[in-house]
Amino acid sequence: MPRDEICLACDGKGLLMDDEEWQYTCKVCNGDGLMPQHSNVANREIADVDEMNRILD
């Protein structure tokens, strides 16, 4: 996978981890791990969270 297409938010893994080590799907690349650097982020919707402010997938 070319380095210039890897998602910078999740480093190409497709998952992000919060401070409590809960993993969730990357909202920037939708879990693909790929995001061309010259494109715009299309998904700017607010994530669903629970009462502890953890992202719900």
The overall average pLDDT reported for the chain is 79
Residue 36 has pLDDT above 70, yes or no: no
Number of domains in the chain: 1
What does the pLDDT read at residue 37? 64
Backbone angles phi, psi at 18, to 5 degrees: -90, -175
In a domain, 44, yes or no: no
Residue 29 lies in domain: 1-38
In a domain, 50, yes or no: no
| Cβ 25 vs Cβ 57: under 8 Å | yes
DSSP 8-state secondary structure symbol assigned to residue 49: B
In a domain, 32, yes or no: yes
Q: Global pTM?
A: 0.57
Q: What's the pLDDT tens digit per position in 12-21?
A: 899 988 888 8
In this predicted model, which residue has the larger pLDDT, 38 or 17?
17
In a domain, 11, yes or no: yes
In a domain, 7, yes or no: yes
Residue 53: partners with Cβ closer than 8 Å, 6 or more residues away: none
In a domain, 52, yes or no: no
In a domain, 47, yes or no: no
